[in-house]
């Protein structure tokens, strides 16, 4: 809802806000309780903490300042809008401390009240036609707070029939698959947004770039290792293991392919957990679960990991939002809902409660194809010591990261993760501006498990921003009906907590394998496997990163890739970049030095002989 145009005054509310709830959240809660779409407000009273911001015209960011002391509100006015579900709150504030010092600016979180009174004036707009893009957000009432005595599994929410709204058919389909009511409620939350015109887009006007000081640097972890060591027995490592590696031509779990020294990703991760004496848990997809369990049974680890299965959502037809059907292969009627599903899946599986019953309060989550990620005791100690509910490891964006999701500050004051699928096409240039949006999400996440249990039981779901992907129903058949896939990102939960934090980590903690080019890099001598089975960069490496491009016609599929490196990868310790074009087979002990392009322009395969040293371009 745009707060421009004519409005009529509606109801007037006056009440004291609860001191236990963050101030901005408390204002939004009042609006939701009274079903207000838009309002103006003013505040009087006392604060214990305030965060104010001033817009830096040169840097185009808000620079914020937090004061934690006894403060009196001299003036505070603002507006709030919840028309599309996601609250938009804007306010300015002026406060003074006991010495008479006055500070003011735009109001941000964290801000906490001691005795704050709210005067809220409802604004009523005449009916307007729906048009343009709508941002995702809540479109249903909050679930009432539950306690141990009254907690029960929620029932799916129903909606009145409407043109283009086939939620009931989707719910029936999910019930037939025995999906839990919380999963159905989560899907219903997003379906209602889509039926009302939401497309998951997050515009530049809704966010501001983070100031570099808003992300903690690596030196903040100093002195935290001992706290991390003490917290390790209360920590579980959760691996996202739902990927099939389809970009590499795989049809099975990517974690089962050989990664380093003849060991698969899974074998290395199991060995890490055993050496570090940490609990391990896998979130599998319905495509990887059985295969992964069979491999674990074959490996017989001393401490087998726990596992749960990611939920699935029905694909919906773009034409009329009906649940898609595909009799040729009914499995294609479903899609994994993105790794943002981890929170509800963990809760619904019963493992969240099991961890809490066993005294496990902390979880480190990462992708199973990222061997750079591990439980760093310094980072764990910092997370525990500062009592952070949610912490995201981020890294500085480079040109190669321009298309990846970035952190920003939402207009409601909280951090937000924006993925490329959530950026309008006309703003993609700004999205890829690495000097503006400086940090990307590594998908290494730390969470405080009790905080997420409280969130789920109070709200009923985990209301992450929507990612709406448009794809053919059958990914191998472009002529199949176009569908929407409802997805969410795990890192997007950073927007749900006032005290959520992003911390900058070295690139060595971000080594995902998304292609055969990535696989060649980690298999090469650029990386070493320590006795503790951690992947580290070789001390002999002369460059921070290597750029590898392998001709997709010959190296995209893993089987084709393996045939062209039959005697192992070349040495890349001295390599800055390698580009291979055409059909080339590498012999044993080949060394690549500097920036090298190898191009085979002929139809016949050529072979680089054993022991060859290539320090310049070769064209055949």
546-555 average pLDDT score: 95
Query: Among residues 345, 233, 241, 235, which one has the least CA distance to residue 296?
Result: 241
pLDDT at 270 over 60: yes
Q: What's the confidence (pLDDT) of residue 501? A: 93
Q: What's the confidence (pLDDT) of residue 156? A: 44
Residues of the chain with CATH 3.90.550.10: 168-509
The better pLDDT of the pair 473, 251 is held by 473
Cα 267 to Cα 233, 369, 518, distances in angstroms: 22, 12, 19
162: β partners: 165
Q: What's the confidence (pLDDT) of residue 83? A: 63
pLDDT tens digit sequence for 132-191: 333 333 333 333 333 444 444 444 443 333 445 789 999 999 999 999 999 999 999 999
In sequence order, which residues have a C-beta less than 8 Å from that of residue 19 and are 6 or more positions away?
112, 113, 114, 115, 116
39-45 average pLDDT score: 91
Residues of the chain with CATH 2.160.10.10: 516-619
End-to-end CA distance of the chain: 62
CB count, 10 Å around CB of 21? 15
pLDDT tens digit sequence for 360-383: 999 999 999 999 999 999 999 999
Question: In the CATH hierarchy, which top-level class contains the domain 516-619?
Answer: mainly beta
47-75 average pLDDT score: 88
Q: Which percentage of the chain shows pLDDT scores above 70?
A: 92
Q: What's the confidence (pLDDT) of residue 317? A: 96
pLDDT at 413 over 90: no
Task: Report residue 380: phi and psi, to 5°.
Answer: -60, -45
Q: What strands lie across the sheet with 482-487, from one edge to the other?
A: 316-317, 482-487, 467-472
pLDDT at 284 over 60: yes
Q: What's the confidence (pLDDT) of residue 492? A: 95
pTM value is 0.74
- The DSSP bridge pattern shows strands 406-410 and 467-472 to be unpaired
pLDDT band for position 578 (cuts 50, 70, 90): very high
Cα 503 to Cα 89, 278, 390, distances in angstroms: 26, 23, 11
> For residue 373, what are its two tokens?
């990620």
Query: Please, how many CA atoms are within 13 Å of residue 92, restricted to the half-sphere of its CB?
Result: 4
The single-letter DSSP state of residue 210 is: P
pLDDT band for position 3 (cuts 50, 70, 90): low
Which range in 11-15, 71-75, 227-231, 473-477 is most confidently predicted, on average pLDDT?
Answer: 227-231
- Domain 168-509 maps to which CATH number in 3.40.50.960, 3.40.640.10, 3.40.50.300, 3.90.550.10? 3.90.550.10
Q: In degrees to the nearest 10, what's the CA dihedral of 165, 170, 172, 175?
A: -150
| 8-124 CATH fold | 60s Ribosomal Protein L30; Chain: A; (3.30.1330)
Q: What's the confidence (pLDDT) of residue 437? A: 93
DSSP labels, 508-570: GG--B--SHHHHHHHHSTTEEE-TT--EEE-TT--SS--EEEE-HHHHSSHHHHHHH-TT-PP
Residues of the chain with CATH 3.30.1330.80: 8-124
pLDDT tens digit sequence for 551-575: 999 999 999 999 999 999 999 999 9
The answer to whether 271 and 280 have CB atoms below 8 angstroms apart is no
Q: What's the confidence (pLDDT) of residue 132? A: 30
């Amino acid at each position: 809802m745009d707060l421009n145009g004519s409005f009529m005054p509606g109801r007037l509310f006056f009440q004291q806000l609860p001191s236990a709830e963050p101030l901005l959240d408390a204002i939004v809660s009042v609006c939701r309780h009274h079903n207000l779409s838009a309002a103006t407000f003013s505040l009087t009273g006392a604060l214990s903490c305030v965060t104010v911001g001033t817009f830096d015209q040169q840097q185009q960011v808000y620079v914020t300042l937090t004061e934690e002391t006894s403060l009196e509100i001299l003036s505070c006015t603002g507006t709030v809008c919840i028309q599309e579900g996601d609250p938009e709150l804007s306010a300015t504030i002026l406060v003074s401390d006991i010495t008479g010092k006055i500070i003011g600016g735009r109001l941000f979180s964290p801000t906490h009240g001691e005795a704050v009174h709210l005067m809220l004036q409802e604004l009523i707009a005449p009916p307007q036609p729906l048009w343009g893009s709508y941002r995702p957000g809540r479109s249903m009432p909050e679930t009432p707070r539950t306690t141990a005595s009254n907690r029960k599994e929620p029932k799916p929410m129903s909606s009145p029939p409407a043109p283009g709204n086939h939620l009931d058919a989707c719910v029936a389909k999910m019930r037939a698959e025995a999906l839990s009511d919380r999963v159905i409620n989560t899907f219903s939350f997003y379906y209602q947004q889509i039926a009302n015109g939401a497309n998951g887009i997050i515009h530049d006007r809704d966010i501001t770039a983070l100031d570099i000081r808003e992300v903690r640097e690596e030196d903040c972890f100093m002195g935290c290792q001992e706290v991390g060591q003490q917290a390790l027995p209360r920590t579980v490592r959760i691996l996202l293991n739902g990927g099939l590696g389809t970009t590499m031509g795989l049809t099975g779990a990517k974690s089962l392919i050989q990664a380093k020294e003849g060991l698969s990703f899974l074998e290395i991760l199991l060995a890490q957990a055993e050496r570090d004496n940490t609990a391990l848990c896998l979130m599998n997809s319905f495509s990887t679960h059985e295969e992964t369990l069979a491999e674990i049974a074959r490996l017989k680890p001393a401490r087998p990991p726990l596992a749960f299965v990611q939920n699935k959502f029905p694909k919906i037809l773009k034409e009329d939002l009906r649940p898609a059907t595909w009799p040729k292969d009914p499995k294609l009627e479903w899609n994994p809902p993105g790794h943002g599903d981890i929170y509800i899946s963990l809760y619904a599986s019963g493992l969240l409660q099991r961890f809490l019953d066993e005294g496990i309060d902390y979880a480190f989550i990462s992708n199973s194809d990222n061997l750079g990620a591990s439980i760093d005791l310094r980072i764990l100690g910092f997370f525990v010591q500062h009592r952070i509910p949610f912490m995201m490891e981020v890294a500085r964006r480079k040109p190669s990261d321009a298309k990846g999701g970035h952190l920003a500050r939402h207009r409601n004051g909280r951090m937000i993760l924006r993925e490329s699928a959530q950026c309008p096409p006309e703003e993609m240039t700004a999205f890829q501006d690495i000097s503006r949006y400086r940090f990307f999400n590594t998908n290494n996440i730390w969470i405080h498990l009790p905080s997420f249990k409280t969130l789920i039981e109070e709200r009923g779901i985990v209301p992450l921003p929507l990612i709406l992907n448009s794809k053919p129903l059958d990914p191998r058949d472009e002529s199949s009906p176009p569908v929407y896939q409802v997805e969410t990102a795990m890192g997007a939960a950073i927007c749900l907590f006032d005290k959520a934090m992003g911390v900058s980590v070295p690139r060595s903690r971000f080594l995902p394998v998304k292609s055969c080019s990535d696989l060649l890099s980690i298999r090469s001598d650029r990386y070493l496997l320590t006795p503790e089975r951690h992947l580290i960069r070789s001390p002999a490496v002369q460059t921070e990163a290597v750029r590898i491009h392998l001709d997709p016609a010959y190296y995209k599929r893993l089987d084709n890739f393996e045939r062209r490196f039959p005697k192992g990868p070349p040495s890349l310790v001295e390599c800055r970049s390698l580009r291979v074009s055409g059909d080339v087979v590498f012999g044993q002990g080949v060394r690549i030095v500097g920036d090298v392009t190898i191009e085979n322009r002929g139809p016949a395969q050529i072979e680089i002989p054993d022991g060859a040293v290539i320090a310049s371009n070769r064209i055949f």
